Amino acid sequence: TPVALLLSGRGSNATALIEACNAPDFPARICLVLSNNPDAPGLDMARKAGLPTKAIDHRPFKKDRTAHEQAIHASLLEAGAEAVCLAGYMRLLTPFLTTEWAGKMLNIHPSLLPSFPGLHTHERALDAGVRIHGCTVHLVTEGMDEGPILGQAAVPVLPGDTADLLAARVLREEHRLYPRALRHFLDKAAPSCQAETALLVA
Ligand code: GRF
């Protein structure tokens, strides 16, 4: 299945997805890596990996978010994308893109949703005193970080944790979870995924 990645920054989750796609039996191939930030390190990484990349800077669109998303949508269609993975895409989506890609757009979020939607999840988890934290892959709907959960991975919060330490522990799990959740999402009709389903579906 042709899958496009949308990112804004570092691109470590994109890297994990790209590496997963190198396995011959993985059900996705990356058809486009697109960023709203022309300077995103993740875009550079994808270019070096030999993948088609595109930057569509949001700034020239000023406040017309829908026009920016229409340009993104046109590129996704042109690339033949059948699903989209948000991988550190840091712009809120409007109903235009979430409707066009309803049921076909995934996101990874660094908390165990529905706890801690939005930003600064690791600081907020520490402040709340939770003992278990983690990450979630979910379908994208209009409400931010609100769509149906496809998979989660948990990590302990340890004594002496800082937000950075916790973020690094969660990020390692993000890199394992996202490819597995994407595989499960694309293969969901396949009976061979039953065992994984128990681990992934919340
Ligand atoms: C990750 O923590 C992801 O969960 C969140 O944004 C961060 C992106 O990191 N949505 P990277 O660009 O994938 O390294």
Pocket mutation for ligand 1, best pick of 108, 140, 144, 149 (most atoms within 8 Å of C-beta)? 108
Show which residues are catalytic.
109
For residue range 154-201, list pLDDT tens digits in order.
Answer: 999 999 999 999 999 999 999 999 999 999 999 985 444 444 443 444
Q: Which H helix or E strand runs over 26?
A: none
Q: Whose CA is nearest to atom 10 of ligand 1?
A: 88
- Annotated binding residues: 11-13, 65, 90-93, 107
Residue whose Cα lies nearest atom 8 of ligand 1: it is 88
CA 77 to CA 3: how far, in whole Å?
Answer: 11
For 72, 121, 125, 144, 168, the CA distances from 136, given in Å and listed in that order, are 24, 12, 14, 13, 15
pTM (two decimals) = 0.93
What pLDDT shows up at residue 10? 97
Q: How far is the CA of 191 from the centre of ligand 1 (A)?
A: 31
Per residue in 75-108, is it b (16+ CB within 10 Å) or e — as a string? bbeebebebbbbbbbebebeebbbebbeebbbbb
Burial label, 172 (beta-carbon count in 10 A; 0-12, 13-18, 19+): middle
Supply the pLDDT for residue 58: 97
User: What ipTM does the predicted assembly reach?
Assistant: 0.98
For the Cβ of 109 lying below 6 angstroms from any atom of ligand 1, the answer is yes
How many other C-beta atoms can be found within 10 angstroms of the C-beta atom of residue 41?
Answer: 15
Ligand 1 within 6 A of CB of 151: no
Which residues of the chain register pLDDT less than 50? 190-202
Give distance in angstroms: CA of 6 to centre of ligand 1. Answer: 11
For ligand 1, pick from 10, 13, 106 the residue to mutate: most ligand atoms within 8 Å of CB: 13
Closest ligand 1 atom number to CA of residue 16: 13
